[in-house]
Amino acid sequence: MQYRGKPGPTNVLSFPQCTHKESSPRSDLLGDVVICSDRVVTDAPELGYTNEEMLFYLLIHGVLHLIGLDHIQAEDAATMEEAVERIFNSFYPENT
């Protein structure tokens, strides 16, 4: 609630090194991804993932935010979900 103003903890937050309109002082840094381990443990079984898979899924989601994807609009949410699933399934094809 403190950062996003929403009730309860979120599973992943992304903090870009800079805005997409300005250049980064370090071109090799996108930013930071913060994952809530408590949410990993509670979300994983609900979604049918191991904790490791859930952690990786959220990391992918967070990095996609850092490169500019979002899911505020339904159309953008579909694009984000497809990208996360495609990348995740390339590492965990048994989950397809």
Residue spans of the domains in the chain: they are 12-95
Give the pLDDT score at 96: 67
Give the pLDDT score at 1: 42
Find how far residue 69's CA is from the centre of its chain.
Answer: 10
Which segments of the chain have a pLDDT < 70? 1-5, 19-27, 96
Tokens representing 69 are 């994807």
The topology under which CATH files domain 12-95 is Collagenase (Catalytic Domain) (3.40.390)
- Distance CA(81)–CA(71), nearest Å, equals 8
Give the pLDDT score at 50: 96
Helices (H) and strands (E) in the chain, counts: 3, 2
Q: Whole-model pTM?
A: 0.83
